[in-house]
Structure 1
Amino acid sequence: MSTLKQSDQEERSTIMIGADELADCIDMASLIDAIEEAFEAYEKGDATMPPKTYVDIKEHNGDFRAMPAAVGDSAGVKWVNVHPDNPQKFDLPTVMGVVVYSDPETAYPLAIMDGTKLTRFRTGAVAGVASRHLAPSDASSLGLLGAGQQAHTQLDAISNVIDLDRVVISDLDDDAITEFITAESHRTVDIVSGSPQDVANCDVISTTTPSREPILKREWIKDGAHINAIGADAEGKQELESDILADANVIVDDWEQCSHSGEINVPVAEGVLSEEDVHGDLSSVVTGSAPTSDDTDITVFDSTGLAIQDIATAELVYESASEQGLGTSIKLIGA
């Protein structure tokens, strides 16, 4: 990874990159590769990622989270919130984010960019990385549990690493399913509506719901299936029956985060799963140091999101915006 840096001769400035321009800076295939390289760097000790820091704002039923990292020639921090009352009270999203992307050599802030859409893209991309390494070799079907925004990036990413011929999508909201199928109608793959059991019968499955009760049952999951568990992001959330995790090779992005608020948090709290039961983390999978899985093993990737993913994505966005002349340059730092 190499960062485009402003020369000493030119006047330094910071690029402001909004959500619409950020989308124009993302190529999913390149992002999947960049995310994989970030996990490799972390495994090899070439990346720094302090623990995520939480700032509780109890009087407003919310919190802020700071996620800093340095990866290769890139450094930055994502400042993200979770305010569940926002949609009803203020007509604002529950989760919003901003990324500050800096030059590690000088510490100059090269860019400030939308972190909400960036998170959406990198979450899809990391499922692409996991699916590339963990899905059965003959995988051809994708099941999507949940028809929200993340379902689109899951499809985009996984279709970049697997030759899909069928996609099954399930959601409690029939209109959301219809909207999803319409929005993705440009793809050559066959996309159909189905039940959670239909989703569970696919070769690769991505779950993106906020459920606090298991939806997918162990008896529905076939041998060799790979599951990207994306939806659980807080204590008590769970999309997969605990027996699935007990029988699967479980891969985490980070044990501490996953055991606290990922898909495995409930089985861990119940004593069904411990750190010793985890097959490995994604860094060890992409570098080949984790035990291998064969095509009869069920695999589950528990994704809670890491700062190295954000900064690897921010690097691509910054470089693309610079090359295309996108964003608004401002003089943020005074002499």
Structure 2
Amino acid sequence: MGNFSHLTHTHYNTYPGEFMAVHHKSTKASHRVGFTYLSQEDLLDAGCFDLRMAIEVAEKAMLAYEDHRIMYPEKIVQIFDQVSQDRINCLPATLLDEKICGAKWVSVFPRNPKRFDVQNLSAIFLLSEIEKGFPIAVMEGTLASNMRVAAIGAIAAKHLARKDSQSIGFIGAGEQAKMHLLGMKVVRPSLKECRISAKTAIEEEQFIDELSPLLPDLNFIRANTVARDAMVGADILVTATSAQAPLLKAEWMKPGAFYSHIGGWEDEYAVAKQCDKIVCDDWDTVTHRTQTLSRMYKEGLLSHNDIHADLHELVSRHKPGRTTEEERIYFNAVGLAYVDVALATAMFKRAESSHIGLKLDLQESMVFEHHNIISKIRL
């Protein structure tokens, strides 16, 4: 990545995002600007893979949002293939209390695993402080993105799943499914059984191989690619796929079950129609997307009045969560960028406190202050 040995001669001041170099030959003010670079491995080493932290950060962020302490503009979406939904999005948000503005640059290419045998999602964060406007961090963002999905699903389960839930079923066995299981186990430690259905038996085996050492008290069952076997009778149902098809059937969802819908169109309309409560992370955002509920809304099969609450209203206790043991409850999350930025900020702070990360220069001085600028200009 280049030679950064000169950084050992730089002293850092206490202002985020700005390096103050001590020049022994000059008293001229420094215009050095720098930031911290954090790889996924850096974040793991700093102990940032922490689902409890992610849940707490997400809850705090939702309360701040409700209190108008979050700036949350529209995201920028660039879709390159309408069929596959290959896309790159830019999602900004500002945390006014933390005085941090951030953005997530995230790519979602659903065909990647099949076409190239690589992950379908990758992300990077840019964080800036808003006192001077300087960047403070550039970070790997896939870990935070997947943790945010799990945290939001876990918070929903905390309010909407039965407290005595013992079984959870999955359609989909990718990274977000794995994260979801860890989050669900945090809020529902009563879970004893996990049934997993994927497109191939190999994916199911990999899911179990990776998760069973982390959750030794959980009994894992392969559904041998039969989605019904993973879902029927489960207290908590999760669909986490890149499919655009009604995979989950209404008859598989028993009374009292909680359904966490992660992807796009993964369930038949009858699933939502039979549920006693429908909750979204943000219903207004859902209406502009391509989820099952989005499709139903655009086809006139679902209205604003059919939505019980947005998730922040449950967190703040402005609306109730589960009120009976027999309710079927549907939860749909499309992603809240301000939660991503809040989580990235918390991860950055944890890494900083552990002195983990690479300090890099954005600039050593302003352009015309370079002593050899005449040799750099092309006129």
Structure 2 length-normalised TM: 0.79
Inter-CA distance 85–300: structure 2 relative to 1 (3 Å threshold) = closer
Inter-CA distance 141–333: structure 2 relative to 1 (3 Å threshold) = farther
Inter-CA distance 173–58: structure 2 relative to 1 (3 Å threshold) = closer
Q: Partners of 2:221 and 2:58 in 1: how far apart?
A: 30
- Is the contact between residue 268 and residue 292 of structure 2 (CA under 8 Å) also seen in structure 1? no
* Residue of structure 1 aligned with 2:222, choices 190, 193, 218: 193
Q: Does the alignment pair 1:118 with 2:144?
A: yes
Q: Give the residue type in structure 1 aligned to 2:311.
A: L
Q: Give the residue type in structure 1 aligned to 2:300.
A: G
Q: How does 1:272-283 map to 2 (within 5 A)?
A: 272-283=301-312
> Cα offset for 1:126?
1.1
Q: Give the residue type in structure 2 aligned to 1:21.
A: D
Q: How does 1:155-304 map to 2 (within 5 A)?
A: 155-163=181-189, 164-186=191-213, 187=215, 188-194=217-223, 195-200=226-231, 201-232=233-264, 238-248=265-275, 249-259=277-287, 260-294=289-323, 295-304=325-334
Task: State the superposition RMSD in angstroms.
Answer: 2.5
Aligned residues: 326
- Is the contact between residue 269 and residue 292 of structure 2 (CA under 8 Å) also seen in structure 1? no
- Is the contact between residue 224 and residue 298 of structure 1 (CA under 8 Å) also seen in structure 2? yes
Q: Does the alignment pair 1:70 with 2:85?
A: no
Q: Give the residue type in structure 2 aligned to 1:229.
A: H
Partner SS state of residue 13, structure 1: strand
CA displacement, residues 228-255 of structure 1 (integer Å, 9 cap, x when unaligned)? 10021xxxxx112211111221111122
Inter-CA distance 228–122: structure 2 relative to 1 (3 Å threshold) = same
Partner SS state of residue 331, structure 1: strand
Q: Does the alignment pair 1:331 with 2:361?
A: yes
> Cα offset for 1:152?
1.1
Q: Give the residue type in structure 1 aligned to 2:14.
A: S
Partner SS state of residue 81, structure 1: strand
> Cα offset for 1:185?
2.1
Inter-CA distance 218–57: structure 2 relative to 1 (3 Å threshold) = closer
- Is the contact between residue 124 and residue 139 of structure 2 (CA under 8 Å) also seen in structure 1? yes
* Residue of structure 1 aligned with 2:339, choices 280, 297, 309: 309
> Cα offset for 1:221?
0.7
Q: Partners of 1:88 and 1:223 in 2: how far apart?
A: 36
Structure 1 length-normalised TM: 0.89
Inter-CA distance 263–104: structure 2 relative to 1 (3 Å threshold) = farther
Q: Give the residue type in structure 2 aligned to 1:318.
A: F
> Cα offset for 1:215?
1.4
Q: Which piece of structure 1 moves more, 50-59 or 322-331?
A: 50-59
Q: Partners of 2:176 and 2:43 in 1: how far apart?
A: 16
Q: Partners of 1:272 and 1:193 in 2: how far apart?
A: 35
Partner SS state of residue 14, structure 1: strand
Q: Give the residue type in structure 1 aligned to 2:38.
A: I
CA displacement, residues 115-164 of structure 1 (integer Å, 9 cap, x when unaligned)? 22221111111111111111112112211211111111011111111111
Q: Partners of 1:111 and 1:185 in 2: how far apart?
A: 34
Match of 2:377 in 1: none
Q: Give the residue type in structure 1 aligned to 2:174.
A: G
- Is the contact between residue 69 and residue 75 of structure 1 (CA under 8 Å) also seen in structure 2? yes
Q: Partners of 1:124 and 1:315 in 2: how far apart?
A: 17
